Amino acid sequence: MSVLVHLCTPADWRAALSAGALRPSGGPFVHLSSPGQVSLPAGRLFPGRRDLVLLVVDPARLTDPVVEEPGVPGDPVGMRFPHLYGPLPAAAVVAVVPYRPPVEPVLPAPGDALGRALAHQLSLRTRRAAEVRDVPGGVAVLDRRFPHSRDDNRLLLDDPADAGTVARVAADVLEGQVLPATLRWPGADAAAAELAAAGWEAEELVVMARSPVPSLPGAERAEVVAQAEVHPLWEASWRRGLAGLPDLDEVVRQLVGREHRNDAVVAVTDVAAREDGRVVAAGQLRVDGATAVVESVMTEPAARGRGHADAVLARLLQLAADAGCDLVVLDADARDWPRDWYARRGFTVAGSTWEVVPGQSGGATQDSSR
């Protein structure tokens, strides 16, 4: 069996990330299932719930015994469930997947770097969203507290579709607004090109991956900091990138204000490098079981070329190793220089997605970047 699964609430999983493991509750074991069995405990324990997550467990990473035992009366005759007699280590969870029946969850294999990255992308956004709606081909995530955040108000589409279908779905969720979309299927470039021809913005993002490293030169130059310490760096970056917007102050306020929600669902660590005591470079690590995601590595323009970003990245890779992760992933613009910068630092391309954003004629009102 390639993977096992455990069904739980996002809150229970977040607590397990902090503790390093999910411990047995109400008995001597953690109840695991094969992928084909999970609907049975879901129906008994969480009838009608669609806000749960499936922890995708690599059995090879478990150190305590897994015993095949009968379930409860009413289960199919002869069915046996895998019971883990000990805690479930967070580092044995290779992916966290939304459980939204009757939608069939996609469970990546432990060695599938792209599948694990896409699982995290979907799961993080659904776990932190104020509202999740099913749409043809995927889901819409919405948070009307942050209308300028494209990352929080968008479609995540996994089923192949032509440009007309994507545009129709994007216009059907909210009255008077066309949502941006992430096209996540292989070959989505064709639909993205059609949308670009129709006036949408289309950007290919490559998913890059590598292993964490317990020790790299320069990591000691970067330190873990409270997130508020990097807010001025973020604000300055967004103001440069979005200069000219009539409501720039409100856009920046929302983009900073949204960030605290990530740590409510995954384990977030912010890292910074300083010059004369002032933060001039920063990056963020999001740990979700055995998968770590690098986000927001940036350096103040006047401080570039001095190795600060290298120090920040080295520290992030070290933190991922310390957390027991075996995979570090990130997204990079396929046409921009950071892709090559990451490639020189050991990241390789695992696959890609497409971001498509309606033009002004399409009714878009959002002004921010991801």
Note down pLDDT in tens along the chain; length 370 residues: 589 999 999 999 999 999 999 999 888 999 999 999 999 888 888 998 999 999 999 999 999 999 999 888 777 877 899 999 999 999 999 999 999 999 999 999 999 999 999 999 999 999 999 999 999 999 999 999 999 999 999 999 999 999 999 999 999 999 989 999 999 999 999 999 999 999 999 999 999 999 999 999 999 999 999 999 999 999 999 999 999 888 999 999 999 999 999 999 999 999 999 999 999 999 999 999 999 999 999 999 999 999 999 999 999 999 999 999 999 999 999 999 999 999 999 999 999 999 999 986 433 333 334 4
CB-based contact 227:270 (threshold 8 Å): yes
Last residue of a domain, one of 55, 83, 108: 108
pLDDT in tens, 147-183: 999 999 999 999 999 999 999 999 999 998 999 999 9
Instruction: For residue 93, give its domain range.
Output: 4-108
* 127 and 184 both lie in a single domain: yes
Helix (H) or strand (E) holding 191: helix 189-197
What string of DSSP letters covers 217-268? TTGGG-EEE-GGGGHHHHHHHHHHHTTT-TTHHHHHHHHHHTGGGGGGTSEE
237: left (phi over 0), alpha (psi -120 to 50) or beta: alpha
| 347 domain-assigned | no
* 221 and 316 both lie in a single domain: yes
User: How many other CB atoms sit within 10 Å of the CB of residue 171?
Assistant: 16
* 87 and 35 both lie in a single domain: yes
* 80 and 119 both lie in a single domain: no
| 311 domain-assigned | yes
Helix (H) or strand (E) holding 316: helix 308-322
| 331 domain-assigned | no
CATH code of the domain covering residue 219: 3.40.630.30
Output Rg (C-alpha) for the chain, integer angstroms: 21
pLDDT in tens, 89-145: 999 999 999 999 999 999 999 999 999 999 999 999 999 999 999 999 999 999 999
| 155 domain-assigned | yes
Overall domain count for the chain: 3
* 178 and 252 both lie in a single domain: no
From residue 102, give the alpha-carbon distance in Å to each of 49, 109, 177, 259. 11, 21, 28, 31
| 340 domain-assigned | no
**Phi, psi values for residue 238, rounded to 5°:** -65, -35
| 339 domain-assigned | no
From residue 274, give the alpha-carbon distance in Å to each of 73, 88, 251, 278, 368. 61, 38, 27, 5, 27
